[in-house]
Amino acid sequence: MGEQTPLTTSPGGGAFDELFTREHQPMVRLATLLVGSSHLAEEVVQDAFASVDARWKEIDRPGAYLRTAVVNGCRAVLRRRELEQRTQELHVAEQDDHIPTRLLELRDALDCLSERQRAVIVLRFFVDLPDAEIASTLGCRPSTVRSLARRALHALREELR
């Protein structure tokens, strides 16, 4: 049977390990906020790190590439979820006893936003990225990021009233 090469022997060697150690938890938090599920978030982040590992020699900015891969992976998950919801209306209640009620309300309120608005809010307020970096991650202009943020904040205010 074929053996899988462990990540520690990736072309980046120690640099990849450092990236993983530094970015794994922040990327899981980012993905959890975007997709609303820690299990799906973990899968998205694992896929993103595998992508970074496979392309290590081609990547100039591994951290930025990783973040973009996580956001794009989350967007794909959200698209699949939306498609599934269109064909079958299932409402699964999550049991998040360890999460404060207000945070659960915020997470639920994020569901009222478009995919891009949600990404902007999470990247701006939970990851603390500047607009220029959010724009780079989402593939749009900084002015678009500001517009999406303004509309998203208005929608959140209305939803949380």
DSSP symbol at 36: S
Nearest to 96 by CA among 27, 158, 39: 39
Contact present, 32 and 23 (Cβ < 8 Å) = no
In the chain, which ranges are E strands?
none
The domain containing residue 25 runs over which residues?
Answer: 10-92
Q: Is the pTM of this model over 0.75?
A: no
Question: How confident is the prediction along the chain (161 residues), in pLDDT tens digits per residue?
Answer: 333 344 444 555 689 999 999 999 999 999 999 999 999 999 999 999 999 999 999 999 999 999 999 999 999 998 888 767 765 543 444 444 556 777 777 778 888 899 999 999 999 988 889 999 999 999 999 999 999 999 999 999 888 88
pLDDT 10s digits, 43-74: 999 999 999 999 999 999 999 999 999 999 99
Domain final position from 92, 113, 130: 92
pLDDT reported for residue 107: 77
CATH of the domain at 107: 1.10.10.10
Q: How many domains is the chain built from?
A: 2
Residue with tokens 């809010």: 121
59 & 130 share domain = no
Of how many residues is the chain composed? 161
Residue 120 included in any domain: yes
Tally the C-alpha atoms within 13 A of residue 123's C-alpha that lie toward its C-beta: 28
Nearest to 53 by CA among 2, 15, 27, 16: 16
Residue 1 included in any domain: no
Residue 141 included in any domain: yes
68 & 86 share domain = yes
Burial letters 67-93, b for 16+ CB under 10 A, else e: bbbbbbbbbebbeeeeeeeeeeeeeee
pLDDT 10s digits, 89-102: 434 444 445 567 77
pLDDT reported for residue 93: 45
pLDDT reported for residue 92: 41
Domain final position from 38, 61, 92: 92
77 & 144 share domain = no
- Looking at the chain, the whole-number percentage of residues with pLDDT higher than 70 is 82
